[in-house]
Chain A
Amino acid sequence: MKFILPKKYLLVPLVLGMGACTNFLDVNQTPNNPLSVPPSVLLPAAEAGSAFANSNELNRFTSVIVQHLAGANNGPATYDVYQTNGGDFGNQWRTEIYDGALINYQKVIQIADVTNSKAYTGIAKIMKAYTFALATDVWGDIPYSQALLGEGNLQPRLDKQEDIYKGNTTLGIQSLFDLVREGEKDLDVALAANYSGLKPTNDDLIYGGDLNKWKAAGNTLLLKFAIQISNKEPKLAASVINEVLTGNKYITSNSQDLNQPFGGAVGSQDPVYTWTYVSLFRDDLILSTRYLNLLKGLSDPRLPIFFTKPAADYVTIDNGFRGVLPTPISSWSRYNTYVTGANGVGPVRLATNFQRAFILAEAAIRLGTPGDPQKLYEEGITASMTLAGVTPTQITAYLANPAVGTLTGTNEQKIAQIITQKYIAFTGNSLEVWNDLRRTGYPTQLPAQNAAGIDGTRPVRAVYINEEIQRNPNFPQTPIQSNVPVWWATK
């Protein structure tokens, strides 16, 4: 064979070797993810995050702490004897609250502001306030004014819970009240006739874009925040409540409830449904004997609506019980469709009409705000029972029981009555029940059996998650234990 190498082959290595042209290396744009999105896909994700934060693990935790349910296995069994530490609720803090709901409300606000779409920014600000309140109520002092800035502040400082609720101009902290008010102002812009920005429809899972309902919800949250700090700041609480009552636009019917709906298909279901009926951890919780006794004692017609009775009678265990669990598991009493929705459609009730009525009843007694406590109290019970599908006759009968229907005794005793009814009405949203329990001490409860924890007392806060202590030196490096009350819970 002769050595012939046609000239064109000389180009082969040349071409292959010349790969370093700009275009050749310009392939680093991801085809997998969008770099920008409209607010309409962010809002539903953020709203679902708030609902998930309320109703997933924090709900499992608080449901046994408030003794609605009892822990049979796994985490809830541990919580039930008051054991919790920084290994708990990492998912909630990380993926549901800060990196789920909150950052995406922040993104909605940023993106929607560009197109002056105040309908979106208004909703996002109100829900951001709700979610921050949830976080501070659970953990106490948290990153707030410096949070959600990404690389803008990699180690946000902790704002005091007091400053989060009340605001602190020196430190540049906007109060939760002002955050809600700012959101409502945005809604006013969007409700005006000349509004030209984007408006949510189906993507607003909660109200389907009904901005008036959002305003009512915002004001109801102001009531909730106000009553939450009423121990510490009665004057401020009273002024906020008066402001809302004067404005007269707050949730006044069950149809206005701030509810996050879910779907009946796998992957869309209400978390409470999933952990009650579907997932591997479905047998971690069972109705508490104590709660059963309370409802039975009151002949409460909501009992069969709140809980299942697969066997001849309700099958329960006592809180902190460490013996042989009842068998068969299929006989256990669990949350019924009132809480989980049929096939898991929910909803998760974040703020409700009955809650508003109970808050106003309590405020009227505690803070002297307008309204007749007895009427508001009855309104709360009626709203809850109506929502549960109890017949008017049954409601009347229930209220006719003087031990239930009539506020009597000292102011404290009346408040205890109100909070006990709120405790029952909020079955399924144990986080709100826990908030009231820590603030008022009602209903009075005995510690769980085998109570351990730090000192045998009920946890009154969650311990900062390990990841934050690792990652942000602003967190106290010696964890604050779960028996230290948060700011608003102390008198």
Chain B
Amino acid sequence: MRRNLLNSLLLSLLFCLPLLAQDVSVSGRVTSSDDSSVLPGVSVQVKGTSRGTTTDANGAYKISVPANARLVFSFIGFSSQELAVGNQSTLNVKLLSGAQNLDEIVITAQGIERDKRSLGYSIQEINGSAISQRSEPNVLNALQGKVAGVSITTASGAPGASTNINIRGITSFTGNNQPLIVVDGIIFSNDVNNTQNTLFGSTPSNRLADINPESIESLNVLKGPAAAVLYGSRASAGAIVITTKSGRNQNNKTEVTLNSSYNVQNVYGLPQYQNSYGQGTLNNYVPNSSNSWGPAFSALSSVTNTQGKVVPYQAYPNNIRDFFTQGTILQNSVNIASGDQNRNYIIAIGNTLQKGIIPNTKFNRTNIQIGGESKLQNGLRVSGTGTYVQTVQQGIPGGNGGSAFGQITAIPRSYNLPGEAYQDTLTGRSIYFNPSAVNPNWSLYNETFNSQVDRFFGNFQLGYDIAKWLNVSYRVTGDTYTDRRKLVQQIGAGRAPTGDVTQDNFFRSEINGDLIINAHKEDVFLKGLNATLLLGNNVNQRKTQEVYLDAATLTIPGFTNVSNGSVFTASSENSTIRRLVGNYGQLSLSYNNYLFLELSGRADQSSTLPKNNGTYFYPGASVSFVPTDAFKVNSNVLSYVKLRGSIAKVGRDADPYLLNSVYVTSGYGNNVANINFPLSVNGNSIPGFGISSRIGSSNLTPEFVQSYEFGANVGLFKNRVNIDATYFNSHSTNQIFNAAISNSTGYDTRTTNLGSLRNKGLELVITGTPVRVGGFKWDVALNYTLIRNLVEFIAPGIKSAGIPGNGFIGSTPSIKEGLPYGVIIGNANSRTQTTDPTAANYDASGQYNGQYLINAITGAFAPTVANSVISNPQARYTAGLTNTFSYKGLALSVLVDTRQGGQLLSFGAAAQRSSGALYATGIDRDQPRILPGVIPVTAADGTVSYKPNNIQIPAQTYWQGIGGLQSEATVFDATVYRVREASLNYTLPKGLLNKTPFGSISVGVSGRNLFFYAPHFIADPELNTQGAGNIQGLDLQGPPNTRNFGVNLRATL
């Protein structure tokens, strides 16, 4: 409070200072030192300010600068140069070419532009061109395989499916582990508003999908808390800072850019099926069986189906593949940009029309953006931008219990899914071989999910240079959306046989106000020592509301208005509001452009914490040193070395309303049976409330993530090869956590501060240009990520706890002391052991340690041991390699990546294996088999020894014995190698366009997910039905992934 007042007073005073600065005009030409060719588009920046311009087509520039200013010339592919203007009016510059520009300006927290060399922490910048035209409407998916330290998984190939992103691992037990997203200074919600559960539910998008990838100029990943400390609490999981295109670099020319792309999507990565045996069990045909353990196709020619019709008994090899269709994505956008550094505008319109691989699904998005800035004659800089987005998603629910995807894995090989009628024309009900389930084709049109998002986000900023060393600015940003969802289950639906319509309306709004004072002084205390001080104040408010109307038991078939319902008991409303005030500061010192020190700190006051604990402070410090400059190393081999290190602590507040215990509307049950209050009994509607299963805490304190990192950037061979290596270590403590407690307390969780979680890892980025001959260039970019995550401590007496979200009873994603985050606890097979003679299954011979125990009579596995860790979803390491070949206007880029290790628990695979549909189950089916393991042999004196299992069982018993959904056999190694994307672009030579209205034209073809190889899994292991969230490595029957091919066209006028 006191500090805010001070800030404001200071600001008022500063506005009264007279204007002193006097500008001079400088012009010149920038050329390449290689061949003296002119360089258009070089950035010319007045050092320490945001003032700048770019060179025109002839390499010329003109800029007015304050006296004694220094100009920084930078251009991709060249080392930047810094020159004092002095009293010169002409300044010609030769830039030295290098594979990568190591001194380029990057955008850091709060939009602060920095020399990359001054940073003591790791930032990875992705150029807009690496994201756009990648056949991928969701920006996050386009980042896959490109950024070290970042893990990105998409829920599925369904249109608009949500994507999870974690930077440097999971840092909070149950909090939001997605990085903060900032778009043009706007804190941008990437919420999912997930209402899906494991059994049945819609799969909504993550809201970053509202961004049009075409509009992105650059994207910076601020990986550690040190980089992000200025954003405060919410950036403790890192931040992604997106800058959209603007008219700043147009050199006062108006340019119209047209982008157009068309992609086709096909389902990719389905498992291979057997086509020798049909529907049934124990070698018998059974019309309502979802198994394929029936007779061989050669044994029967026709059968009578559930509907009493005689149908041929034959394989339908593509009955699952043909459930899917070809998806298409048509994207068009137009940008009109004009202006220069001081006055510019942009108008952009983008449209994406996606038809999904699942019939009757789509993802359509329209973006309209207007932005601009102007420097008034009085020196006031005004800028603003506003974007309206409408995103329409239409999908069908997924999940294990009664969704189309739960059914699609339970289709016998002999069922003609595409060919059979799926809907009774008279009653509208589903027709299916299994009367207890619903035909997936019926689901497509009768169990539908719609979401329409209307979103507006924008900013408004005022800036003023009070003195040439002092700038004050105020920025207001807003981001608000409504997501109106409707889930329709027509009468006869699997999950709601009497029909159900839910109207689920989300509203979210966020407003931020930031006051930023920036002071810059050169040669303070001693020559060469420059100092920049930034002081800021942030006021934040977030509001949400969800209104949920559940109309159950429909009367009129096909009428999908909630007025058709007759039971409304599950309806609800949930609103939240939270506010935060933060004060922050950063002092940056640089000495002779080779030694840098940065100190930052932020104090937050949050509405969600108890008043006496509501204010918390956290600091950060970083150092960067460039020895090659300090010691003036002049080597053709070692061109550049930067050493850096940083340490930071970031605090995080709680979610709203965690301080109290409350009462909630009562309800009981699960998918077997359930009731909800008010209960309608004997004509009375009886309300019922119960105490919430969570105990509130009135003495919460903020949680903290402490981290340090150090690393080096090395440039070799005139910077043709660059290595960027980072080691990081973060430690999350005092977590605000709804800790699972013994249910016998009467509660399920208790909100408290507990636990300790550590992430450490290595990130390596190597870029290089192995070949550069004439016009031909071969660039290589490799990134490698290794993260080790460890749950060090949970709570006294508690060794493990489930992660909230949608696991499955019996396969519980958990935190467990001494293990990585997110291990899945479930039922493991009994095994022999050789360590404890007094415990069960002791093998005295020591011969069969760890072997499965087999029942000596049945030859099946002995009973499973519940509560065992069966799966660890964390990858050993991931790596991506991009090769780009360019020759004149032609560029070919191929990204291959791999994920090594990490496990996937797949209900889909387990279901298809035990149902006899998978290819492997058809091999030698008539031959008996033996489960791996040992049989206990009890001697006359009662001692138990073991011998290898030799009990023969039929194929069906074998494959079903290996394990159904709830067993360790559901777990697979998710190692995968993938050709993630490839693109070929051709830019037409300028000469060809001289007589046309076009400034440039480029055409390209691209493909995504072209090929994968998963040695240990039957399908594509890159699946997670949970989508964005803390639960990873679970496939609870969702849609498969896709392979995309596309063409694109880009033209400027």
Contacts and interface: CB of A to CB of B under 8 A. Distances in A.
Which of B401, B495, B810 gathers the greatest number of chain A CB atoms within 10 Å? B810
Contact of B494 (A16, A20, A24, A280): A280
A366 B1027 CA distance: 61
Given A99-B746, A468-B744, A13 B672 contact: no
Contacts of A292: none
A324 B679 contact: no
A194 B81 CA distance: 96
A17 interface: yes
A56 B679 contact: no
Contact of A5 (B15, B608, B666, B669): B15
A281 B672 contact: yes
A280 B746 contact: no
For chain B, give the interface size range. 35 or more
Given A103-B746, A454-B863, A265 B680 contact: yes
B567 A85 contact: no
B666 A48 contact: yes
A320 interface: no
Given A261-B681, A265-B567, A147 B745 contact: yes
Contact of A280 (B402, B855, B863): B402
Interface string A259-280: 0011111111101101100111
A26 interface: yes
Nearest to B658: A28
Interface in A23-57: 24-37, 41-42, 44-46, 48-49, 52, 56-57
B57 interface: no
Interface string A1-31: 1111100001011101111110011111111
A153 interface: yes
A150 B578 contact: no
Contacts of B687: 41, 44
B989 interface: no
Contacts of B576: 32
Interface string B140-156: 00000000000000000
Interface string A304-340: 0000000000000000000111011110000000000
B71 interface: no
Which of B552, B579, B675, B866 gathers the greatest number of chain A CB atoms within 10 Å? B675
B675 A267 contact: yes
A17 B661 CA distance: 33
Contacts of B553: 265-266
Interface string B684-710: 101111111101000000000000000
Interface in B1-26: 1, 4-5, 7-8, 11-12, 15, 19
Contacts of B681: 205, 261-263, 268, 345
Contact of B674 (A104, A154, A267): A267
Interface in B864-884: 864-867
A457 interface: no
Contacts of B521: none
A18 B583 CA distance: 11
B335 interface: no
A20 B4 contact: yes
Interface stretch (B28-36, B282-290, B323-331): B282-290
Contacts of B741: 154, 471-472
Contacts of B333: none
A283 interface: yes
Contacts of B574: 32
Contacts of A57: 672
Interface stretch (B97-105, B262-270, B373-381, B594-602): B373-381
A281 B605 CA distance: 50
Nearest to B747: A150
B689 A42 contact: yes
A471 B573 CA distance: 32
B819 interface: no
Given A56-B669, A275-B673, A279-B672, A148 B745 contact: yes
A25 B612 CA distance: 12
Given A202-B686, A267-B567, A35 B673 contact: no
A473 interface: yes
A37 B679 contact: no
Given A20-B1, A452-B855, A32 B573 contact: yes
Given A34-B663, A267-B674, A44 B581 contact: no
A266 B688 contact: no
B675 A48 contact: yes
Contacts of B939: none
Given A36-B663, A91-B809, A17 B7 contact: yes
A470 interface: yes
Contacts of A33: 662-664, 692
B669 A104 contact: no
B614 A25 contact: yes
B695 A150 contact: yes
B621 to A, nearest CB: 26
Contacts of B1040: none
A392 interface: no
A415 B680 CA distance: 41
Contacts of B684: 202
Contact of A27 (B607, B668, B748, B867): B607
Nearest to B495: A280
A210 interface: no
B288 A329 contact: yes
A469 B867 contact: yes
Contact of B659 (A28, A56, A274, A345): A28
B238 to A, nearest CB: 26
Contact of A12 (B474, B575, B578): B474
B798 interface: yes
A86 interface: yes
Interface stretch (B116-124, B439-447, B643-651, B799-807): B799-807
Contacts of A454: 863
A28 to B, nearest CB: 5
B353 interface: no
B552 A14 contact: no
A182 interface: no
Interface string B557-585: 00000000011011001111111010000
B682 interface: yes
A466 B680 contact: no
Interface in A435-491: 450, 452-454, 463, 466-473, 479
Interface string A152-181: 011110000000000000000000000000
Contact of B675 (A52, A156, A279, A283): A52
A468 B802 CA distance: 11
Interface in A84-102: 85-87, 90-91, 93-96, 98-100, 102
A103 B747 contact: yes
B863 A83 contact: yes
A40 to B, nearest CB: 8
21 contacts: A1-B377, A3-B19, A16-B515, A20-B1, A20-B581, A32-B576, A98-B746, A99-B743, A99-B746, A107-B690, A143-B744, A156-B745, A205-B686, A266-B567, A271-B669, A280-B495, A323-B282, A325-B286, A466-B812, A471-B743, A472-B741
> What 6 pairs across the A-B complex have the smallest Cβ distances?
A103-B746, A143-B744, A3-B378, A45-B666, A45-B688, A271-B673
Interface of B: 1, 4-5, 7-8, 11-12, 15, 19, 280-282, 284, 286-289, 306, 376-380, 401-402, 435-437, 474, 476, 494-498, 513, 515, 537, 539, 552-553, 566-567, 569-570, 573-579, 581, 605-608, 614, 656-657, 659-664, 666, 668-677, 679-682, 684, 686-693, 695, 740-748, 750, 797-802, 809-810, 812, 814, 825-827, 855, 858, 860, 863-867, 966
Given A25-B614, A274-B674, 20 more contacts: A10-B15, A13-B7, A24-B581, A27-B579, A34-B663, A44-B666, A48-B677, A49-B668, A49-B690, A91-B809, A98-B745, A99-B743, A104-B690, A107-B690, A150-B747, A265-B680, A266-B498, A271-B674, A328-B435, A329-B288
